[in-house]
DNA sequence: AATGGTTTCAACCGCTGCTAG
DNA sequence: ACTAGCAGCGGTTGAAACCAT
Protein backbone atom coordinates (compact mmCIF):
# COMPACT_ATOMS: atom_id res chain seq x y z
CA UNK A 1 0.00 0.00 0.00
CA UNK A 2 1.67 3.16 -1.14
CA UNK A 3 1.24 6.68 0.03
CA UNK A 4 -1.47 8.69 -1.65
CA UNK A 5 -0.17 11.30 -4.06
CA UNK A 6 0.26 14.79 -2.69
CA UNK A 7 -2.18 16.15 -5.23
CA UNK A 8 -4.43 15.22 -8.12
CA UNK A 9 -1.76 14.94 -10.80
CA UNK A 10 -4.31 14.84 -13.59
CA UNK A 11 -5.77 18.21 -12.70
CA UNK A 12 -2.68 20.22 -11.92
CA UNK A 13 -0.65 22.55 -14.07
CA UNK A 14 3.05 21.95 -14.48
CA UNK A 15 5.91 23.91 -15.85
CA UNK A 16 6.49 27.64 -15.78
CA UNK A 17 4.22 29.77 -13.65
CA UNK A 18 2.08 32.46 -15.27
CA UNK A 19 1.78 35.99 -13.96
CA UNK A 20 -1.80 35.29 -12.95
CA UNK A 21 -0.81 32.25 -10.93
CA UNK A 22 1.93 34.24 -9.21
CA UNK A 23 -0.53 36.98 -8.35
CA UNK A 24 -3.00 34.51 -6.93
CA UNK A 25 -0.36 32.86 -4.80
CA UNK A 26 1.03 36.15 -3.52
CA UNK A 27 -2.42 37.46 -2.71
CA UNK A 28 -3.37 34.30 -0.87
CA UNK A 29 -0.20 34.17 1.23
CA UNK A 30 -0.41 37.87 2.02
CA UNK A 31 -3.89 37.30 3.39
CA UNK A 32 -3.52 33.91 5.04
CA UNK A 33 0.19 33.52 5.57
CA UNK A 34 2.43 30.60 4.74
CA UNK A 35 1.74 27.03 5.72
CA UNK A 36 -0.58 24.14 4.96
CA UNK A 37 0.73 23.87 1.44
CA UNK A 38 -1.39 20.86 0.66
CA UNK A 39 -4.65 22.72 1.00
CA UNK A 40 -3.33 26.03 -0.30
CA UNK A 41 -3.79 25.46 -4.05
CA UNK A 42 -7.47 24.71 -3.72
CA UNK A 43 -8.03 27.55 -1.29
CA UNK A 44 -6.14 29.98 -3.52
CA UNK A 45 -7.86 28.77 -6.66
CA UNK A 46 -4.68 27.42 -8.20
CA UNK A 47 -4.44 24.29 -10.31
CA UNK A 48 -1.05 23.48 -8.83
CA UNK A 49 0.45 20.93 -6.52
CA UNK A 50 1.06 22.21 -2.99
CA UNK A 51 4.72 21.40 -3.34
CA UNK A 52 4.90 23.47 -6.49
CA UNK A 53 3.28 26.43 -4.69
CA UNK A 54 5.71 26.16 -1.83
CA UNK A 55 8.68 26.07 -4.14
CA UNK A 56 7.45 28.98 -6.22
CA UNK A 57 6.92 31.07 -3.12
CA UNK A 58 10.17 30.19 -1.39
CA UNK A 59 12.41 30.38 -4.43
CA UNK A 60 10.88 33.21 -6.38
CA UNK A 61 8.00 35.15 -4.90
CA UNK A 62 9.04 35.73 -1.30
CA UNK A 63 9.39 39.47 -0.78
CA UNK A 64 12.64 39.21 1.19
CA UNK A 65 14.54 37.60 -1.66
CA UNK A 66 17.67 39.30 -2.83
CA UNK A 67 17.89 39.53 -6.57
CA UNK A 68 20.95 39.96 -8.71
CA UNK A 69 24.42 38.52 -8.90
CA UNK A 70 26.27 37.03 -5.99
CA UNK A 71 28.97 39.24 -4.54
CA UNK A 72 32.56 38.15 -4.03
CA UNK A 73 31.91 38.03 -0.28
CA UNK A 74 28.93 35.77 -0.81
CA UNK A 75 31.04 33.53 -3.05
CA UNK A 76 33.68 33.09 -0.39
CA UNK A 77 31.10 32.54 2.32
CA UNK A 78 29.42 29.83 0.27
CA UNK A 79 32.77 28.14 -0.33
CA UNK A 80 33.61 28.19 3.35
CA UNK A 81 30.21 26.97 4.41
CA UNK A 82 30.26 24.25 1.80
CA UNK A 83 33.63 23.05 3.05
CA UNK A 84 32.07 22.71 6.50
CA UNK A 85 28.60 21.55 5.68
CA UNK A 86 28.82 19.88 2.29
CA UNK A 87 25.72 19.93 0.11
CA UNK A 88 23.49 21.13 2.92
CA UNK A 89 22.09 23.89 0.75
CA UNK A 90 19.33 24.89 3.10
CA UNK A 91 21.82 25.35 5.93
CA UNK A 92 24.10 27.36 3.70
CA UNK A 93 21.16 29.44 2.55
CA UNK A 94 20.36 30.11 6.18
CA UNK A 95 23.62 32.01 6.41
CA UNK A 96 22.96 34.09 3.33
CA UNK A 97 20.00 36.39 3.86
CA UNK A 98 17.82 36.76 0.79
CA UNK A 99 19.28 33.73 -0.95
CA UNK A 100 17.49 30.42 -1.38
CA UNK A 101 18.87 26.92 -1.19
CA UNK A 102 17.91 26.33 -4.81
CA UNK A 103 19.65 29.49 -5.93
CA UNK A 104 22.81 28.63 -4.04
CA UNK A 105 22.77 25.07 -5.31
CA UNK A 106 22.46 26.29 -8.89
CA UNK A 107 25.12 28.92 -8.37
CA UNK A 108 27.44 26.37 -6.87
CA UNK A 109 27.00 23.98 -9.78
CA UNK A 110 27.35 26.63 -12.47
CA UNK A 111 29.92 29.06 -11.06
CA UNK A 112 31.68 28.09 -7.89
CA UNK A 113 32.62 24.57 -8.90
CA UNK A 114 34.40 25.98 -11.90
CA UNK A 115 35.95 28.74 -9.85
CA UNK A 116 37.41 26.25 -7.39
CA UNK A 117 38.67 23.97 -10.12
CA UNK A 118 40.41 26.90 -11.74
CA UNK A 119 42.15 27.49 -8.39
CA UNK A 120 43.20 23.86 -8.34
CA UNK A 121 40.78 22.95 -5.58
CA UNK A 122 38.54 19.93 -5.66
CA UNK A 123 35.01 21.32 -5.07
CA UNK A 124 33.96 18.17 -3.27
CA UNK A 125 36.83 17.72 -0.84
CA UNK A 126 38.02 21.35 -0.80
CA UNK A 127 41.53 20.03 -1.02
CA UNK A 128 44.09 20.75 -3.66
CA UNK A 129 43.46 18.48 -6.62
CA UNK A 130 47.14 17.54 -6.38
CA UNK A 131 46.77 16.17 -2.88
CA UNK A 132 46.80 12.42 -2.62
CA UNK A 133 45.45 10.36 0.20
CA UNK A 134 47.55 7.44 1.38
CA UNK A 135 45.87 5.17 3.90
CA UNK A 136 43.75 7.96 5.26
CA UNK A 137 46.61 10.43 5.48
CA UNK A 138 46.59 13.43 3.22
CA UNK A 139 49.86 14.06 1.47
CA UNK A 140 49.88 17.66 0.34
CA UNK A 141 51.10 18.75 -3.01
CA UNK A 142 54.75 19.80 -3.00
CA UNK A 143 53.83 22.99 -4.79
CA UNK A 144 51.84 25.39 -2.67
CA UNK A 145 48.37 26.18 -3.95
CA UNK A 146 45.76 28.65 -2.87
CA UNK A 147 43.24 26.91 -0.70
CA UNK A 148 40.33 28.06 1.37
CA UNK A 149 41.42 27.59 4.93
CA UNK A 150 38.90 27.26 7.68
CA UNK A 151 40.37 28.60 10.85
CA UNK A 152 39.10 27.34 14.13
CA UNK A 153 39.68 29.13 17.35
CA UNK A 154 39.14 28.17 20.95
CA UNK A 155 35.77 29.00 22.38
CA UNK A 156 33.29 27.68 24.87
CA UNK A 157 31.66 24.88 23.01
CA UNK A 158 28.29 26.32 22.20
CA UNK A 159 26.60 23.15 21.17
CA UNK A 160 27.69 21.53 24.35
CA UNK A 161 25.86 24.29 26.16
CA UNK A 162 22.85 23.87 23.93
CA UNK A 163 22.79 20.20 24.59
CA UNK A 164 23.01 20.83 28.31
CA UNK A 165 20.13 23.23 28.01
CA UNK A 166 18.10 20.52 26.40
CA UNK A 167 19.22 17.92 28.90
CA UNK A 168 20.55 15.88 26.06
CA UNK A 169 23.95 14.97 27.39
CA UNK A 170 26.47 15.61 30.07
CA UNK A 171 29.93 17.08 29.79
CA UNK A 172 31.51 13.70 29.87
CA UNK A 173 29.12 12.31 27.31
CA UNK A 174 29.87 15.18 25.00
CA UNK A 175 33.55 14.75 25.61
CA UNK A 176 33.24 11.11 24.78
CA UNK A 177 31.53 11.85 21.53
CA UNK A 178 33.79 14.66 20.43
CA UNK A 179 36.91 13.07 21.78
CA UNK A 180 37.58 16.12 23.87
CA UNK A 181 38.22 16.19 27.58
CA UNK A 182 35.57 18.21 29.29
CA UNK A 183 38.04 19.84 31.68
CA UNK A 184 40.41 20.79 28.91
CA UNK A 185 37.78 22.35 26.72
CA UNK A 186 39.42 21.04 23.67
CA UNK A 187 39.67 23.88 21.16
CA UNK A 188 38.77 23.66 17.56
CA UNK A 189 35.05 24.00 17.18
CA UNK A 190 34.58 27.47 15.99
CA UNK A 191 35.01 29.22 12.76
CA UNK A 192 35.25 32.82 13.91
CA UNK A 193 34.96 34.53 10.56
CA UNK A 194 31.73 32.66 9.90
CA UNK A 195 30.64 32.82 13.49
CA UNK A 196 29.64 29.25 12.93
CA UNK A 197 30.27 26.71 15.59
CA UNK A 198 30.26 23.05 14.77
CA UNK A 199 30.47 20.18 17.15
CA UNK A 200 30.40 17.24 14.82
CA UNK A 201 33.39 15.00 14.82
CA UNK A 202 33.81 11.31 14.38
CA UNK A 203 34.42 9.39 17.56
CA UNK A 204 37.71 7.76 18.24
CA UNK A 205 38.26 4.60 16.26
CA UNK A 206 40.37 3.13 19.01
CA UNK A 207 38.68 0.97 21.52
CA UNK A 208 39.83 1.96 24.93
CA UNK A 209 38.72 0.61 28.26
CA UNK A 210 36.86 3.69 29.35
CA UNK A 211 33.28 4.09 30.43
CA UNK A 212 31.25 7.08 31.30
CA UNK A 213 28.14 7.46 33.36
CA UNK A 214 25.53 9.59 31.74
CA UNK A 215 22.29 10.23 33.53
CA UNK A 216 22.70 7.02 35.47
CA UNK A 217 23.22 5.00 32.33
CA UNK A 218 26.54 3.36 31.65
CA UNK A 219 27.58 4.21 28.17
CA UNK A 220 30.56 2.99 26.29
CA UNK A 221 32.76 5.93 25.39
CA UNK A 222 34.17 4.25 22.34
CA UNK A 223 31.64 2.29 20.42
CA UNK A 224 32.71 1.11 17.02
CA UNK A 225 32.67 3.60 14.17
CA UNK A 226 29.52 2.09 12.69
CA UNK A 227 27.77 2.13 16.02
CA UNK A 228 28.66 5.71 16.71
CA UNK A 229 27.19 6.83 13.45
CA UNK A 230 24.07 4.77 13.92
CA UNK A 231 24.74 2.83 10.76
CA UNK A 232 23.42 -0.42 12.06
CA UNK A 233 20.15 0.96 13.22
CA UNK A 234 17.79 -1.80 14.10
CA UNK A 235 20.44 -4.44 13.74
CA UNK A 236 22.65 -6.17 16.23
CA UNK A 237 26.15 -4.79 16.22
CA UNK A 238 28.87 -7.35 16.60
CA UNK A 239 31.73 -5.06 17.39
CA UNK A 240 33.73 -5.40 20.58
CA UNK A 241 33.27 -3.04 23.46
CA UNK A 242 35.06 -2.72 26.76
CA UNK A 243 33.78 -2.82 30.26
CA UNK A 244 35.08 -0.79 33.20
CA UNK A 245 37.84 -3.32 33.81
CA UNK A 246 38.98 -3.22 30.26
CA UNK A 247 37.54 -6.59 29.36
CA UNK A 248 36.44 -6.89 25.79
CA UNK A 249 32.92 -8.04 25.05
CA UNK A 250 30.70 -8.15 22.04
CA UNK A 251 28.51 -5.12 21.49
CA UNK A 252 24.99 -6.41 21.06
CA UNK A 253 22.98 -3.27 21.26
CA UNK A 254 19.92 -3.23 19.07
CA UNK A 255 19.30 0.21 17.71
CA UNK A 256 21.22 1.54 20.65
CA UNK A 257 23.46 4.07 19.04
CA UNK A 258 22.14 6.90 17.02
CA UNK A 259 24.16 9.33 15.03
CA UNK A 260 27.12 10.49 17.09
CA UNK A 261 26.20 8.04 19.75
CA UNK A 262 23.21 9.98 20.98
CA UNK A 263 20.37 7.82 22.12
CA UNK A 264 16.70 7.75 21.39
CA UNK A 265 15.20 11.18 21.19
CA UNK A 266 18.54 12.80 21.87
CA UNK A 267 19.45 12.89 18.23
CA UNK A 268 21.45 15.76 16.91
CA UNK A 269 19.70 17.62 14.16
CA UNK A 270 21.73 19.82 11.85
CA UNK A 271 18.95 22.33 11.94
CA UNK A 272 19.24 22.74 15.65
CA UNK A 273 22.78 24.02 15.31
CA UNK A 274 22.57 27.64 16.16
CA UNK A 275 23.75 30.03 13.53
CA UNK A 276 24.33 33.57 14.47
C1' DA B 1 20.59 35.13 -40.52
C1' DA B 2 20.82 30.26 -39.42
C1' DT B 3 22.44 26.59 -36.89
C1' DG B 4 24.30 23.94 -33.21
C1' DG B 5 26.54 23.71 -28.80
C1' DT B 6 26.69 25.44 -24.07
C1' DT B 7 25.02 27.57 -19.95
C1' DT B 8 21.62 28.96 -16.73
C1' DC B 9 18.07 28.37 -13.51
C1' DA B 10 13.10 27.46 -12.51
C1' DA B 11 10.68 23.59 -11.62
C1' DC B 12 10.01 18.75 -10.82
C1' DC B 13 10.83 14.24 -8.59
C1' DG B 14 11.75 11.11 -5.13
C1' DC B 15 13.26 10.49 -0.73
C1' DT B 16 13.68 11.46 4.34
C1' DG B 17 12.45 13.01 8.86
C1' DC B 18 9.02 14.61 11.89
C1' DT B 19 4.62 14.30 13.95
C1' DA B 20 -0.04 13.03 15.10
C1' DG B 21 -3.25 9.47 15.59
C1' DA C 1 5.35 0.42 18.09
C1' DC C 2 3.36 1.32 13.91
C1' DT C 3 1.36 3.93 10.06
C1' DA C 4 0.07 7.74 7.22
C1' DG C 5 0.31 12.53 6.12
C1' DC C 6 2.97 16.34 5.55
C1' DA C 7 6.87 19.67 4.93
C1' DG C 8 11.28 20.08 3.54
C1' DC C 9 15.55 18.73 1.26
C1' DG C 10 18.86 17.63 -2.42
C1' DG C 11 19.50 15.75 -7.03
C1' DT C 12 18.02 16.07 -11.64
C1' DT C 13 15.73 17.76 -15.73
C1' DG C 14 14.54 20.54 -19.55
C1' DA C 15 13.23 24.93 -21.64
C1' DA C 16 15.00 29.31 -22.53
C1' DA C 17 18.79 32.27 -23.13
C1' DC C 18 23.22 32.91 -24.68
C1' DC C 19 27.32 32.28 -27.52
C1' DA C 20 30.33 30.70 -31.31
C1' DT C 21 30.75 29.52 -35.91
* Distance CA A75 to C1' C13 in A: 25
Give me the tens of pLDDT residue by residue for chain A, a chain 276 residues long: 334 455 555 567 888 899 999 999 999 998 888 878 888 988 898 989 888 999 999 999 988 888 788 988 898 999 999 998 899 999 999 989 899 999 999 999 989 988 888 888 888 888 887 765 555 566 655 444 444 444 333 332 333 333 333 333 333 333 333 333 333 333 334 555 565 655 544 443 333 333 333 333 333 333 343 443 333 333 334 444 434 344 444 443 333 333 333 333 333 333 334 444
Q: Which of A211, A213, A227, A216 is nearest to A261 (CA)?
A: A227
Residue A106, CB, strand B, below 7 Å: yes
Task: Please say whether the beta carbons of A56 and A25 come within 8 A.
Answer: yes
CA of A265 to C1' of C20 (A): 58
Q: Tell me the domains of chain A and their CATH numbers.
A: 19-61 (1.10.10), 72-128 (1.10.10.60)
Contact A213, A222 (CB under 8 A): no
A268, closest nucleotide (Cα–C1'): B17
Amino acid sequence: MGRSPCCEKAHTNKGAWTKEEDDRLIAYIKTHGEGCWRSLPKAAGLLRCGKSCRLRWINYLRPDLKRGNFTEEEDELIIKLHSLLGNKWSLIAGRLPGRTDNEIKNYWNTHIKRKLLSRGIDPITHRSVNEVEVEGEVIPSPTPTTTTSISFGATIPKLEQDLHDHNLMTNSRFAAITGSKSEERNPGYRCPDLNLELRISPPSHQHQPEQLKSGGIIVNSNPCFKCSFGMQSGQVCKCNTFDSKGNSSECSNIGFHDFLGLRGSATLDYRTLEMK
